[in-house]
Amino acid sequence: MSRLVRNRAMLPSLASDLLDTGRFFPSMLDEELFDISGGALMIPDANIVEKEKNFKIELAAPGLERKDFKVEVNDGILTISGEKEEEKKEESKNYRRREFSYNSFRRSFTLPENCISDKIDAKYENGILRVLIPKKEVTISKPTKEIKVS
């Protein structure tokens, strides 16, 4: 058992050693020449709040704009996606630098049956996308009363 635990503990260090590009290609990846931090995978955190008349989903997605989002409902699944493309150009007398970055995410949520999917509303402000999902009014039916036939 201790051998198995020791091997599991070793895996992260092996993976980080293998993926440490600076160790194997130190002259090729100069951080001043290549900004490798800008292309990070972005998966925004979601807060889901249930209130009496609606559900509210909040996604923290700073740096995006309204046009970068797509909110869809299909077969009871709410899908929120976002894409951001950027291009940076820098020109000087001796060199030209042009970089592209592309970030995207996609989150899907199964909607409960008591939602009104036709009236879902989404707003983006101050780096937070708020999706409001109204609920149907649930009518509680009275239990069936059996009447004896005499």
**24, 45: one domain:** no
**58, 5: one domain:** no
**68, 114: one domain:** yes
Enclosing domain of residue 125: 36-134
Residue pLDDT tens, the chain, 150 long? 444 444 444 444 444 444 444 444 343 333 333 333 344 456 888 999 999 999 999 999 888 889 999 999 999 999 999 988 887 888 888 878 878 777 888 999 999 989 999 999 999 999 999 999 999 887 777 788 888 898
**73, 115: one domain:** yes
Domain count for the chain: 2
First vs last C-alpha separation in the chain: 74
Q: Give the CATH number, domain containing residue 46.
A: 2.60.40.790
CB atoms within 10 A of CB 122: 17
Q: Answer whether residue 58 is part of any domain.
A: yes
**42, 111: one domain:** yes
The residues, any chain, with a CB within 8 Å of residue 29's CB and separated by 6 or more, are 21, 22, 36
Q: Considering the entire predicted model, what is its pTM?
A: 0.58
